[in-house]
Amino acid sequence: GVAWRPLLIIVGSVVAFGLLLPRLGMVITLPLLIIVSAVAGDEFHWPSALISGVLITLLSWGVFIKGLGLTIPMWPVFLG
């Protein structure tokens, strides 16, 4: 059978990422994506999800913003 709960959580988190990135920036949206996607698994642990969120955010900043020069919002709109 199909594991519907994890599938829907992961697809929902990716859709939420796409909708929230322009408003909340990469600093909030990417760790949120990682944490919500990690909840879909059987072995969820807060420390590893938080560490993964921070590391992937830093790596994404380095690759997409610094390396490729893309104009992805880093910070939420309300922070300027």
What is residue 22's predicted lDDT score, i.e. its pLDDT?
94
Gap between the Cα atoms of 68 and 46, Å rounded = 31
Our measurement of the distance from residue 71's CA atom to the centroid of its chain's CA atoms, rounded to an integer in Å, reads 17
pLDDT digits (tens, 9 = 90+) for 22-75: 999 999 999 999 999 999 988 999 999 999 999 999 999 999 999 999 999 999
Predicted confidence at residue 14, as pLDDT, reads 94
Q: Is pLDDT above 90 for 79?
A: no
pLDDT score, position 24: 95
* pLDDT above 70 for 80: no
Q: How far apart are CA 25 and CA 45, in angstroms?
A: 24
Where helices occur in 1-80 by DSSP H, the ranges are 4-39, 46-60
